[in-house]
Structure formats: structure tokens, C-alpha cells
Amino acid sequence: MIRIDKLCKKYGKKKALDDLCLEIKGNTIFGLLGPNGAGKTTLISVLNGLTTFDSGEVSVFDKALSKNIREIRRRCSLIPQSLAFYDKLSVKENLDYFSAIQKISPADVKKNISYAVEVNRLGSMLTQKASTLSGGQKRRLNIAIGLLNNPDILFLDEPTVGIDLESRNEILEMIRSFKQQNKCVIYTSHYMPEIEKICDQVAIINDGHIVKQGSIETMLEDESNNQVMIEIYETPLAVLQECSEKFSLLTVLDSQRLQLASKSTNDVSQSISVLEGNGVKIKRINYVTSTLESVFVNLTSRGI
């Protein structure tokens, strides 16, 4: 459904996207992960036709993006993290307004609004002003607006941020249902357990290119041999950073935790020597199973 080959985008001398290659198939929930400044926002902007690119090839629905931007944008929807509706309007007025500005055909407006209302369970609050909705209801209205054009590809940026657990689970369940409707969901979130819960495939972007792509199961298996967590007593970050510079397999997670990218006896012994040589007191060493968060930290801290 989406194919990207050697995509490049510069802002001045900085490469936001650097020979990025990525393939996303239809009927999937695809997680796009990366630290701040890694290139996620630029990539999503390019795919939505909001930002031009310098070189490379991008095709969506087997059509070149550069030559078919309008057609492709009609079949996509970007739902931002920020709430993109009018507080002073009712739920129904917001849906009517955004249907109008998207120039949805009159024949589809009623059907599409009904669908957006139904899947987001907004039927009982159509006459309520948006400002009176709860946090979870506002998130659902935000998503409903993004569904008004009945998109084939849906870009969701942090759709559950700032809401309670019950509302979060309801939204995640709704997102799962999009897959059954043959939609492709491209999902960004900093909450790793959420990504693990709903995504079929994940790509990790760092420094403008993809450092890892595949199923979560495959990623965890690939990285499972490199997971040693070292717990320490509270230590200044400057001291820990010095240890990391002396022994590059060490990654500082916080003032009480480091990650060692190896399980070999020699590397564990050397890391202990470096830490103790800098006055760091070790609490315990854990040989742990990989999580998506640990894989993410490992890949984005290597500078691959």
C-alpha cells in the first residue's frame, strides 16, 4: 500500500530523512517509533502531501505520490495529537463543518457521519458542545472527524494521550476494528506497551532512516541476546555518562539503571570493572527478556 525507496529530505544542511526505505502493506496496524527529531513528523508530512521531498520514490496505492497527491490525500486522513475541532460547536456541528470543508460528496456525508459517530460511540452526545466532553470523548471526536472521508489509510498521532485507562482501552479496541475494515493504520506513540498491544508491524526510525522493521515478535527475538539490566544506587548522570563513554556497550537509562548490550561473561565483567572503578555501587544485575522499550532504547542509542 505504501512503498518508499531512498527518500531524502533536507532542511538547510540537516538531513531530516536520509535514504529512508520502508514498505507498509494494507490491512495492518503499523507502529512508527522514533525519538524526538528522528524524522517521524517529516515522514508523515511527506506521506500526507504536506511536505515535498528532495529525492527518492514514494508510491501509495501503487501510484507515485508526486504525481497523484490530490487523489491520494482524498483516501488518507491525518489525526493529530492536538485536538482539532471547535469547542464552541456541538459534536454534530463539528462533524457537519469538517465534512463541508473536506468537500465530501453530498451522497456520502450522511453515511460517513453515521459511521464516524457509531464507531466512536458519540450518538448520545451529538447536541453537546465539544467543550463539555470528557477527555476520552474529546479524543473520540478527534478521531471521528478523521474518519469523515472514510479513509483507506489513517495516520494516528498519540491518540490516547492524557486520558484515563478505560477510555484508552476503548479507543484501542476501536482502532483494532479498523483492520477488519481493510484499513491501514499508521500509529505513533511514545507508550510502548500500547504499541505492543495493537500493532502488527513496527518500524523504528532514527537519524532520518529506518534502523529496524518487522513484527514485534521478530524484533524481540532478534534483540533477546543483548539484554542485561544493571541496577545501581543513585548516581550522578555525569558519572554514568563517563562510564558509558569508557565502555560503549553501556547505555545510561537513568540515575539508577544502565543497559548492557551484551550477555557475554567478559562484557559483563568489564562493565562491572568500569562502573566500580568510577565509584558506582551496583545493586543487582538482571538478565532480562526483551521488551519493545528495551529494543527501542538499544537501537536508537547505538547511532546505527
User: Based on the domain organization, do 70 and 197 belong to the same domain?
Assistant: yes
Cβ neighbours around 274 below 10 Å, total: 18
Give the pLDDT confidence of 216-265 residue by residue, as tens digits: 888 887 766 567 889 999 999 999 999 999 999 999 999 999 989 888 88
* CATH for 175: 3.40.50.300
Q: What range does the domain containing 243 cover?
A: 223-291
C-alpha cell at 11: 532542511
Q: Which amino acid is at 95?
A: L
Whether 296 maps to a domain, the answer reads no
Task: Let me know whether 204 and 246 are in one domain.
Answer: no
Tell me the per-residue pLDDT of 76-127, one tens digit each, with 9 for 90 and over. 999 999 999 999 999 999 999 999 999 888 889 999 999 999 999 999 999 9
Question: CB neighbours of 261 closer than 8 A, spacing ≥ 6?
Answer: 226, 249, 250, 251, 298, 302
Q: Which positions ≥6 away from 122 have C-beta within 8 Å?
A: 91, 116, 137, 140, 141, 144
**Residue holding cell 463539528?**
94
pLDDT at 134 over 90: yes
Choose the final residue of a domain: 199, 221, 243.
221
Q: How many domains does the chain have?
A: 2
What are phi and psi for residue 27, nearest 5 degrees? 55, 50
Strands 55-60 and 201-206: unpaired
Are 248 and 100 in the same domain? no
Q: Of 165, 167, 115, which is closest to residue 137 (Cα–Cα)? A: 167
Claim: this prediction has a pTM higher than 0.85: no
- 77 shares its domain with 125: yes
pLDDT of residue 224: 63
Same domain, 158 and 12: yes
Do residues 150 and 93 share a domain?
Answer: yes
Residues 9 and 117 in one domain: yes
- Same domain? For 178 and 283 the reply is no
| Residue 304, in any domain of the structure | no
The enclosing H or E element of 16 equals: strand 14-24
Whether 45 shows a pLDDT value over 50: the answer reads yes
Return left, alpha or beta for 144; rule: phi > 0 is left, psi -120 to 50 is alpha, else beta.
alpha
pLDDT single digits (tens) 280-299 = 999 999 887 778 888 888 78
Show contacts of 79-84: CB within 8 Å, 24+ apart: 79/142, 79/143, 79/145, 79/146, 79/154, 79/155, 79/156, 79/157, 79/159, 80/142, 80/157, 81/157, 81/158, 81/159, 81/161, 83/138, 83/139, 83/141, 83/142, 84/142, 84/145
Three-class secondary structure of residue 189 per DSSP: coil
Q: Are residues 134 and 163 in the same domain?
A: yes
The residue-averaged pLDDT of 12-23 equals 95
The grid coordinates listed for 62 are 501503487
Final residue in a domain of this structure, among 172, 199, 221: 221
- By C-alpha distance, which of 254, 220, 249 is closest to 234? 254
Q: What is the pLDDT of residues 77-91, one digit of tens each?
A: 999 999 999 999 999
- Assess whether 245 and 271 both reside in one domain: yes
Residue at which a domain ends, from 221, 251, 278:
221
Is 151 domain-assigned? yes
pLDDT at 219 (0 to 100): 85
* Percent of the chain topping pLDDT 90: 78
How do strand 201-206 and strand 209-215 relate by DSSP bridges?
Answer: antiparallel
**pLDDT of res. 298:** 79
Please name every residue paired with 250 in a beta bridge, in sequence order, or none if there are none: 260
Q: Do 205 and 279 fall within a single domain? A: no
Assign 150 a pLDDT band (cuts: 50, 70, 90).
Answer: very high
Matching residue, cell 544493571:
230
